[in-house]
């Protein structure tokens, strides 16, 4: 019966068959917890934050409309904003490719059917589930300028010590290093992707006399591009929200000399230390726009370099 | 004996053996690199444990001591009385377990509506759900904070538990993908037998989805146990602190008590590591699922 009504001339617009309406009600019933949460905790906040971004709002008195004032102020009068943008881009541009390269490298090594693979995999994976706060404390200790292990090792090798977290030139690389320690989740994903690559591809390449480099370049890497793409998107969204390690290690100061004042840290400070909610909301929307544009560009470019099995770009 | 001689005589077999040995040798650099890397990755853990068992005098010696001599076990009990550690642990456990249970219950239910019932507009609403994953949290954070303040949730643990009752887009997405792989015929057969959608969800889909539910439970556990930003924003009263924010306060006040700090950090990490070893396969499968099918 359903089949007949589906193939017959469809009533235009909002007329629904009885079973459709029944399913709609059931479907909405099942998704209702999420739907309510979406309306209250996502949709309304998005609208509210867009409005707040056009106001001066200190939480105590009601918001005062200032038009694009917050945006103009951020872009033209606030050097700290540009420093935070610079810090965040620095972090993103180095940390994301670095993590992906290390993850692919380690996954390729593990994929050589080495003995004790699960032991190695565990060692690389464990840091990624360590709570940020614990990791930050541990690394603050390891990178301690006077008594830390890192400088002790440098001293033992007769090398000059480094002000890891106290020298503005080293603070960001140090945080990137801490972050690289916790990249293990990607290794697991890349390793699984490597094991998914059909063996016949390599066998065919072998017959054609392809060497290891050619096989990696023309089979392995293209087959990994979907995972690289996934990691890039996640990496970008994550980099712009990068907060906890920098906050904990610097005690919220973003020092030394503002060198670890990342975008989200500055936003947090404006919102919850200075209670400039309107100003912070404007920052949030600039962030949203930036992430949106970058994700969009990545998706647009993906047709050219991401390989999807069993079909064209999708 | 006969087989041995024949194999040494057979040219193809001996060539295979040489090739195998060559292959083993070719893997040597891989082993060396992996081992070096593994040591590098393990050093922070070793240093964490080592510091947590040292007295201040042992901590500040040069060259650094890898193995504490003697072992200073007092750091552990001291770190739990230096701050109200067990209270923080209790709060963390409460928030974490609440989130685990609520996430599994709510998300498994919502995902059913996205995967097993065909209703007009479903795909569009699902697209909306996925796109919420791309929204950076700062966009919704401030209004959410203000809503919670007006509802009197700020500075209570409810601020960290109530949101779980509405499900989380990511877990719903994961479960929906898993539900889609369960043959529709099972549902149809049950329907013919007179089962309602809820009965199908409860009796057929949930039991089949156990592996995916385990992944969600695991991810929710880690995410909430480790959460720092939520407690930082919503909790001010020390009595409500979770471990993450309690440890941060401890760290801020006594930045030189490395032995105590590392002992407390170890105590916070230990349950997570233990959980990993107990559920390793679910873990790896879950990570793989999110990365490959995502």
What is the rounded distance in angstroms from the CA atom of residue B97 to the CA atom of residue B225?
A: 9
With a pLDDT cut of 70, the percent of chain A lying above it is 93
Give me B147's structure tokens: 């809503």
Q: CB distance B47–A291 less than 8 Å? A: no
Say which residues have a Cβ less than 8 Å from residue B241's Cβ, sequence separation at least 6: B84, B87, B88, B91, B231, B235, B249
Give me B164's structure tokens: 């779980």
Count the domains in chain B: 2
pLDDT at A297 over 70: yes
Same domain, B25 and B45: yes
pLDDT at A311 over 80: no
Q: In the predicted model, what is the mean pLDDT of residues B163-172?
A: 96
Q: CB distance B262–A142 less than 8 Å? A: no
Q: What is the DSSP string of A129-169?
A: GS-HHHHHHHHHHHT-TTT-HHHHHHHHTTPPP--TTTSHH
pLDDT at A14 over 90: no
Shortest distance between the Cα of B5 and any Cα of chain A, in A, equals 29
- B293 pLDDT band, cuts 50/70/90, is low
Spell out which residues of chain B touch residue A134, defining contact as CB-CB under 8 Å: 247, 265, 268-269
Last residue of some domain: B25, B58, B77?
Answer: B77
pLDDT at A31 over 50: yes
- What is the per-residue pLDDT for B1? 36
> For chain B, what is the radius of gyration of the CA atoms?
26
Tell me: the pLDDT tens digits for A172-226? 999 999 999 998 888 888 998 998 888 888 889 888 888 888 888 889 999 999 9
Q: CB distance A287–B129 less than 8 Å? A: no
Q: Where are the domains of chain A?
A: 2-52, 72-305
A-contacting residues in B 199-238 (Cβ below 8 Å)? 201, 222, 225-226, 228-229, 232-233
- What is the per-residue pLDDT for A285? 97
- What is the per-residue pLDDT for B5? 40
Residue span of the structural domain in which B36 resides: 2-77
Q: In the predicted model, what is the mean pLDDT of residues B163-169?
A: 96
Last residue of some domain: B77, B99, B115?
Answer: B77
pLDDT at A52 over 70: yes
User: How deeply is A213 buried, as exposed, middle or buried, from its count of CB atoms within 10 A (0-12, 13-18, 19+)?
Assistant: exposed
Same domain, B114 and B13: no
- What is the per-residue pLDDT for B7? 42
- Sign of the alpha-carbon dihedral angle for B51, B56, B61, B67: negative
Same domain, B67 and B139: no
CATH assignment at residue B98? 1.10.3720.10
Q: In the predicted model, what is the mean pLDDT of residues B105-133?
A: 96
Same domain, B191 and B55: no
Q: In the predicted model, what is the mean pLDDT of residues B104-108?
A: 97
- What is the per-residue pLDDT for B61? 85
Chain B touched by A293 (CB under 8 Å):
no
| Residue of B93 and A146 predicted with greater confidence | B93
Contact A102, A180 (CB under 8 A): yes
pTM for the model = 0.89
Chain B touched by A52 (CB under 8 Å):
yes
| Residue of A60 and A281 predicted with greater confidence | A281
- What is the per-residue pLDDT for B8? 44
Nearest to B287 among A188, A248, A280 (CB): A188
Chosen for mutation from A27, A84, A99, A224 (greatest number of chain B CBs closer than 10 Å) is: A27
Nearest to A24 among B47, B120, B268 (CB): B120
Same domain, B173 and B235: yes
Same domain, B162 and B230: yes
CATH 1.10.3720.10, domain A72-305, yes or no: yes
Q: CB distance A131–B132 less than 8 Å? A: no
Same domain, B277 and B192: yes
- What is the per-residue pLDDT for B292? 65
- What is the per-residue pLDDT for B9? 46
Angstrom CA distances, A154 to A157, A159, A160, A230, B33, stand at 5, 5, 7, 37, 21
Same domain, B121 and B149: yes
Tell me: the pLDDT tens digits for A75-105? 999 999 999 999 999 999 999 999 999 999 9
Average pLDDT, chain A: 90
Q: In the predicted model, what is the mean pLDDT of residues B5-30?
A: 61
Nearest to A156 among B63, B128, B167 (CB): B63
Spell out which residues of chain A touch residue B145, defining contact as CB-CB under 8 Å: 271
Shortest distance between the Cα of B75 and any Cα of chain A, in A, equals 16
Give me B80's structure tokens: 């739990």
Same domain, B43 and B97: no
Same domain, B63 and B95: no
Last residue of some domain: B77, B92, B109?
Answer: B77
Q: In the predicted model, what is the mean pLDDT of residues B242-262?
A: 92
User: How deeply is A63 buried, as exposed, middle or buried, from its count of CB atoms within 10 A (0-12, 13-18, 19+)?
Assistant: middle
Chain B touched by A275 (CB under 8 Å):
no
| Residue of A59 and B228 predicted with greater confidence | B228
Same domain, B143 and B259: yes
What is the rounded distance in angstroms from the CA atom of residue A232 to the CA atom of residue A133?
A: 25
Same domain, B197 and B91: yes
Chain B touched by A299 (CB under 8 Å):
no
- In terms of Cα–Cα distance, which of B234, B261, B259 is closest to B249? B261
Q: CB distance A132–B114 less than 8 Å? A: no
């Amino acid at each position: 019966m359903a089949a007949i009504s589906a193939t017959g001339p469809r009533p235009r617009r909002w007329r629904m068959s009885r079973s459709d309406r029944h399913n709609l009600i059931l479907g909405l019933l099942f998704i209702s917890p999420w739907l309510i949460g979406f309306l209250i905790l996502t949709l309304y906040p998005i609208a509210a934050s867009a409005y707040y971004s056009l106001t001066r709002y200190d939480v105590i008195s009601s918001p005062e409309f200032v038009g694009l004032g917050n945006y103009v102020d951020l872009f033209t009068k606030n050097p700290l904003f540009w420093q935070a943008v610079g810090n965040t881009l620095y972090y993103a541009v180095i940390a994301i490719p670095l993590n992906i390269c290390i993850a692919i490298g380690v996954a390729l090594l593990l994929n050589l059917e080495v003995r004790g693979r699960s032991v190695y995999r565990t060692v690389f994976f464990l840091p990624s589930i360590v709570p940020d706060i614990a990791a930050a404390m541990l690394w603050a200790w390891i990178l301690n300028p006077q008594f830390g292990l890192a400088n002790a090792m440098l001293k033992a090798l007769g090398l000059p010590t480094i002000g890891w977290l106290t020298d503005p030139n080293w603070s960001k690389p140090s945080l990137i290093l801490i972050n690289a320690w916790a990249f293990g989740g990607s290794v697991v994903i890349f390793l699984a992707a490597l094991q998914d690559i059909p063996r016949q591809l390599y066998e065919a390449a072998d017959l054609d006399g392809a060497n290891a480099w050619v096989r990696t370049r023309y089979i392995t890497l293209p087959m990994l591009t979907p995972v690289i793409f996934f990691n890039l998107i996640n990496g970008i969204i994550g980099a712009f929200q990068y907060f906890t390690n920098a906050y904990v290690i610097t005690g919220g100061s973003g020092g030394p000399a503002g060198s670890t004042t990342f975008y989200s840290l500055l936003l947090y400070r404006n919102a919850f230390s200075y209670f400039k909610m309107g100003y912070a909301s404007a920052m949030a929307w600039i962030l949203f726009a930036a992430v949106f544009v970058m994700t969009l560009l990545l998706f647009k470019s993906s047709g050219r370099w991401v390989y999807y099995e069993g079909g064209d770009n999708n | 004996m006969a087989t041995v001689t024949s194999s040494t005589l057979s040219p193809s077999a001996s060539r295979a053996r040489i090739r195998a040995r060559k292959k083993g040798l070719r893997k040597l650099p891989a082993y060396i690199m992996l081992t070096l890397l593994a040591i590098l990755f393990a050093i922070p853990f070793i240093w964490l444990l080592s510091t947590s068992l040292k007295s201040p005098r042992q901590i500040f010696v040069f060259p650094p001591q890898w193995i504490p001599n003697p072992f200073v076990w007092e750091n552990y009990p001291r770190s739990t009385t230096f701050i109200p550690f067990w209270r923080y642990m209790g709060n963390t456990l409460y928030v974490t377990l609440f989130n685990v249970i609520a996430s599994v219950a709510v998300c498994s239910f919502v995902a059913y509506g996205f995967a097993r019932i065909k209703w007009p507009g479903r795909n569009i609403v699902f697209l909306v759900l996925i796109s919420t994953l791309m929204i950076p949290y700062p966009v919704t954070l401030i209004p959410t904070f203000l809503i919670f303040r007006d509802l009197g949730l700020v500075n209570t643990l409810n601020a960290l538990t109530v949101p779980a009752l509405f499900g989380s887009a990511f877990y719903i997405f994961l479960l929906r993908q898993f539900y889609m792989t369960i043959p529709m015929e099972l549902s149809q057969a049950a329907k013919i037998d007179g089962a309602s959608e809820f009965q199908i969800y409860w009796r057929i889909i949930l039991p089949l989805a156990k592996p995916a539910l385990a992944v969600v439970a695991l991810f929710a556990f880690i995410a909430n146990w480790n959460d720092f930003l939520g407690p930082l924003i919503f909790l001010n009263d020390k009595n409500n602190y979770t471990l993450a924010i309690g440890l941060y306060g401890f760290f801020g006040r006594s930045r030189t008590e490395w032995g105590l700090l590392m002992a407390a950090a170890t105590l916070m990490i230990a349950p997570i590591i233990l959980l990993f070893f107990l559920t390793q396969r679910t873990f790896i499968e879950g990570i793989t699922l999110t990365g490959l099918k995502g």
